[in-house]
Amino acid sequence: MADIATPEFLNDLKSLYPAPENYVDGDWFLAAGIAFSSSNCPEGVPCILRYALDDLEKLPDISNEDRRLLVQKMRDGIFKSGMISGYPKAINALVSLYEATPEELRDTELLRDPNRSKEDVAAAGQAYFDSTYGDTAVTVQSLLRSAYPDLEHFTLTLGYGYVYAFLEVTSAKETSFTMISALIPNDTPRQVEWHLTGAIRNGATVEEVRAVREIALRIATKAGVSLKHEVPNI
């Protein structure tokens, strides 16, 4: 499926996202990498990386930190997306990304603190959950608890606490984009609708959210993902 990630197609995807002042803040490449991963096309991920790094090299005053942050955003976004699309897909995408990453831009140390207390992790998870769901947080959390108490505990502590609430690489807004980009190829419209709105709560503009939605939808369609449901919009 790498042949679908042509320069022309990637040009079109990039053009959908509002042009940022700083290239690394233009989250089209984050959304695209995750959508390829969730569409079970990990071979598309290195195409995104090479395209974005080549783009970056055309700009003045680019540092190795800019390059490193771009790769880290893709890496952390795909890691976060595994909570939605499944870690087998995320593993394949991360391995493809690793193989295409220049050695000096690879991470060799943990980014998340493995020594944080369970209480700290749970508190961070609850805070990010509340910021994402806003005035619907109590209702959604109650739904998770009613469906299966273990689901609520897992979601708030491991899902939101350990995985999503780490915002030092991918911001709150970008984490919402991670969810949207993974959910659309997953064909889960209820959750897509939740996180389209959640992205706004986490600081995205309507234009940015619509761009991320369209990027993920175009990739899923191009990859041959069969969507049984209409994708919600905002």
Per-residue pLDDT of the chain (234 residues; tens, 9 = 90+): 558 899 999 999 999 999 998 999 999 999 999 999 999 999 999 999 999 999 999 999 899 999 999 999 999 999 999 999 999 999 999 999 999 999 999 999 999 999 999 999 999 999 999 999 999 999 999 999 999 999 999 999 999 999 999 999 999 999 999 999 999 999 999 999 999 999 999 999 999 999 999 999 999 999 999 999 999 999
39 Cβ contact list (under 8 Å, min separation 6): 185, 219, 220, 223, 225
Q: Which residues contact 13 (CB under 8 A, 6 or more apart)?
A: 28, 32, 215, 218, 219
Which amino acid appears at position 39 of this protein? S
In the 8-state DSSP scheme, what is residue 49? H
What's the pTM value of the predicted model, to 2 decimals? 0.96
Q: CA-to-CA distance for 29 and 188, rounded, in angstroms?
A: 22
Residue 21 DSSP symbol: S
- Which residue shows structure tokens 């984490």? 175
DSSP state of 40: T
